[in-house]
């Protein structure tokens, strides 16, 4: 039986990775500090013989961490997200997303794991001019979160180069699906809109809603990580998106409900669009869940967001003040 570690296992994407690995017969060691992750997200595996949960902060992992002993694959999702808090508290982001990654890399190196897959962010492309955006597009982070995730990626590839730790980085576009964010910080449009839908409040559409995002369903993303883990490759970077951008207006149409507009924000791309030819070619991966089906799945589980924060134009204005303050010279 193969053993895998999932860091950030109680988070949104990490918890889906756990589901997939257990389905595929892996022994799964789930690591999370529960700062933003929720035990509920993995509670359905409690008591399973092949599942264990380790309440650990990755920054505290020693190089000889016992939990890494005998592990074949490491899926590294642990970290913190969101734009505004990263502008306000950049060192926290560097600690969690860069220093934390270094600790995971060292533990993985000492354990002699077969492959580490790093969860990177497409935010490294900033306001990309090349659309669809390939892995060779210029790196231009717009805020500290994006920088920290990119530095984590550089570290993973550096460990691959210097220490021969087999590592692959996956740059995720807009991942959505069950269990997507319910925490207090503003961001991640699905959590915002679904809470608004439950409470019969208007969807807070940014700008005119014609901006598009490459939304990719979370179970497709987990399959990409598994494909990267088992393939005989190292030192590579792959985009993961659906390759089929959808507008916010289309999302509103699918969820259904009234709309209120809030101002467009500086430094936000008009469009994100992954060029996914590389991962299709090298790993044979392709997304299989259509946007319509993915949204349907979320609507069928809408109760999950009943306690999620309810955002209004006023609270959004408050929550994004720092954003407008620091990024005001960036294009809107
Ligand atoms: N968005 C929106 N209303 C909101 C939050 C987000 O219209 O209350 C839009 C936002 O302008 C962007 C998209 O939804 O085009 C995705 O935003 P999110 O924060 O989920 O991810 P991003 O791509 O900005 O990292």
Residue 86 lies in a domain: yes
pLDDT score recorded for residue 332? 74
Same domain, 127 and 44: yes
- 68 and 189 in a single domain? The answer is no
Instruction: Give yes or no for residue 268 CB within 6 A of ligand 1.
Output: yes
pLDDT over 90 for what percent of the chain? Answer: 92
Q: Are 187 and 83 in the same domain?
A: no
Token readout for 158 is 């550096």
For the Cβ of 128 lying below 6 angstroms from any atom of ligand 1, the answer is no
Residue 266 predicted with pLDDT over 90: no
> What rounded mean pLDDT belongs to the chain?
96
Q: Hey, whose CA ends up nearest to atom 10 of ligand 1? A: 206
Residue 282 inside a domain? The answer is no
Q: Confidence band (pLDDT; 50, 70, 90) for 267?
A: confident
* Band (181; pLDDT cuts 50, 70, 90): confident
Would you say the CB of residue 185 lies under 6 angstroms from ligand 1? no
Q: Are residues 185 and 40 in the same domain?
A: no
17 and 164 share one domain: yes
Task: Measure CA of the first residue to CA of the last residue in the chain; give whole Å.
Answer: 51
Instruction: Give the per-residue pLDDT at 211.
Output: 97
One domain for residues 182 and 208: yes
Q: What is the pLDDT of residue 328?
A: 84
Co-location of 186 and 100 in the same domain:
no
Identify the active-site residue in 93, 118, 143, 145. 145
Q: Is 293 exposed, middle or buried (0-12, 13-18, 19+ CB in 10 A)?
A: exposed
Q: Please tell me the distance from the alpha carbon of residue 234 to that of residue 236, in angstroms, as a whole number.
A: 5
Query: Residue 180's pLDDT is what?
Result: 93
If residue 121 lies in a helix (H) or strand (E), which one and from where to where? strand 115-121
Task: Report, as an integer, the average pLDDT of 180-206.
Answer: 92
For residues 22 and 15, the answer to whether their CB atoms sit within 8 Å is no
Would residue 145 show up in a list of annotated catalytic residues for this protein?
yes
Ligand 1 proximity of 248 Cβ (cutoff 6 Å) = yes
Q: What is the pLDDT averaged over residues 216-241? A: 98
Q: Find the 168 Cα to ligand 1 centroid distance in Å.
A: 27
Q: Residue 182: pLDDT above 90?
A: no
User: How far is the centre of ligand 1, averaged over its atoms, from the C-alpha of 154 (Å)?
Assistant: 26
Q: Any idea what the CATH number is for the domain that residue 257 is in?
A: 3.90.25.10
124 with 200, same domain: the answer is no
Length of the chain: 332
Inter-residue contact 103 to 74 (CB < 8 Å): no
Q: What is the pLDDT of residue 185?
A: 85
User: Does ligand 1 have an atom closer than 6 angstroms to the CB of 320?
Assistant: no
Cα 64 to ligand 1 centre (Å): 40
Q: How far is the CA of 185 from the centre of ligand 1 (A)?
A: 13
User: What pLDDT is stored for residue 331 in this prediction?
Assistant: 78
Work out the average pLDDT over 86-96: 97
Which run of H or E residues covers position 18? helix 12-23
Q: Is the predicted pLDDT of residue 57 greater than 90, yes or no?
A: yes
What whole-number distance in Å separates Cα of residue 246 and Cα of residue 132?
Answer: 13
Same domain, 234 and 315: no
Residue with tokens 């390759």: 243
188 ligand 1 Cβ < 6 A: yes
As a whole number, mean pLDDT of residues 47-66 equals 96
Residue from 189, 250, 273, 314 whose mutation best tests the ligand 1 pocket (most atoms within 8 A of CB): 189
**pLDDT grade for 95, boundaries at 50, 70 and 90:** very high
Looking at residues 240-254, what average pLDDT do you find?
A: 98
For the chain, the domain total comes to: 2
- Residue 272 forms part of a structural domain: no
Q: What is the pLDDT of residues 135-149, one digit of tens each?
A: 999 999 999 999 999
pTM here is: 0.97
Whether residues 50 and 150 share a domain: the answer is: yes
- Judge whether residue 199 has pLDDT over 90: yes
DSSP line for 246-312 = EEHHHHHHHH---EEEE---TT--SB--B--HHHHHHH-----S-HHHHHHHHHHTGGGGTTS----
Number of Cβ within a 10 Å radius of residue 136? 10
**Residue pLDDT, tens place only, 273-324:** 999 999 999 999 999 999 999 999 999 999 999 999 999 999 999 999 998 9
User: Residue 203 phi/psi, 5° resolution?
Assistant: -70, 130
255 located within any domain: yes
CATH classification at residue 104: 3.40.50.720
Residue 26 in any domain: the answer is yes
The answer to the question of residue 283 being in a domain is no
Residue 97 lies in domain: 3-175+216-240
Supply the pLDDT for residue 240. Answer: 98
**Spatial separation of the C-alpha atoms in residues 87 and 61, rounded to whole Å:** 27
Task: Determine if ligand 1 sits within 6 Å of the CB of residue 175.
Answer: no
Indicate which atom in ligand 1 lies nearest the CA of residue 316: 8
Residues 133 and 193 placed together within one structural domain of the fold: no
Q: Is residue 273 part of a domain?
A: no
Place of tokens 């807009």: 174
Angle at 307 between CA 304 and CA 311, to 5 degrees: 110
Q: Is the CB of 6 under 6 A from ligand 1?
A: no
Residue 14's pLDDT is: 98
pLDDT digits (tens, 9 = 90+) for 148-178: 999 999 999 999 999 999 999 999 999 999 9
Within this chain, do residues 94 and 109 fall inside the same structural domain, yes or no? yes
Residue 331 CB coordination number (10 Å): 11
Confidence tier at 238 by pLDDT (50, 70, 90): very high
pLDDT at residue 189, rounded to an integer: 95
Distance of CA 91 to the CA centre of its chain: 20
Ligand 1: atom nearest CA of 190 is 20
Q: Does residue 271 fall inside a structural domain?
A: no
């Amino acid at each position: 039986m193969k053993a895998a570690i999932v860091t950030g296992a109680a988070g949104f994407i990490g918890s889906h990775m756990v589901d997939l690995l257990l389905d595929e017969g892996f022994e799964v060691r789930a690591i999370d500090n529960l700062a933003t992750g929720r035990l509920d997200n993995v509670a359905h595996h409690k008591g399973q013989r092949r599942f264990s949960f380790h309440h650990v902060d990755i920054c505290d992992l020693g190089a000889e961490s016992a939990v890494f002993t005998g592990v074949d694959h490491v899926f590294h999702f642990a970290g913190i997200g969101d734009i505004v808090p990263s502008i306000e508290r950049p060192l926290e982001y560097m600690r969690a997303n860069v220093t934390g990654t270094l600790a995971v890399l060292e533990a993985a190196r000492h354990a002699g794991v077969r492959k580490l897959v790093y969860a990177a962010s497409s935010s490294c492309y900033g306001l990309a001019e090349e659309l669809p955006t390939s892995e060779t597009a210029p790196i231009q982070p717009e805020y500290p979160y994006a920088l920290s995730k990119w530095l984590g990626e550089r570290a993973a590839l550096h460990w691959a180069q210097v220490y021969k730790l087999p590592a692959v980085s996956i740059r995720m576009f807009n991942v959505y699906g069950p269990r997507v964010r319910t925490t207090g910080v503003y961001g991640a449009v699905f959590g915002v809109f679904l809470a608004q839908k439950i409470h019969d409040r208007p969807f807070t559409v940014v700008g005119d809603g014609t901006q598009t995002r490459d939304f990719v369903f979370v179970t497709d993303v987990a399959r990409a990580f598994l494909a990267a883990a088992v393939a005989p490759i190292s030192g590579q970077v792959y985009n993961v998106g659906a390759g089929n951008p959808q507008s916010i207006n289309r999302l509103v149409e699918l969820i259904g409900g009234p709309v209120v507009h809030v101002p467009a924000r500086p430094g936000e791309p008009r469009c994100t669009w992954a060029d996914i030819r590389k991962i299709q070619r090298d790993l044979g991966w392709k997304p299989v869940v259509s946007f319509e089906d993915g949204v349907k799945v979320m609507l069928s589980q809408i109760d999950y967001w009943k306690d999620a924060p309810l955002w209004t134009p006023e609270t959004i204005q408050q929550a994004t003040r720092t954003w407008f303050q620091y990024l005001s010279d960036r294009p809107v």
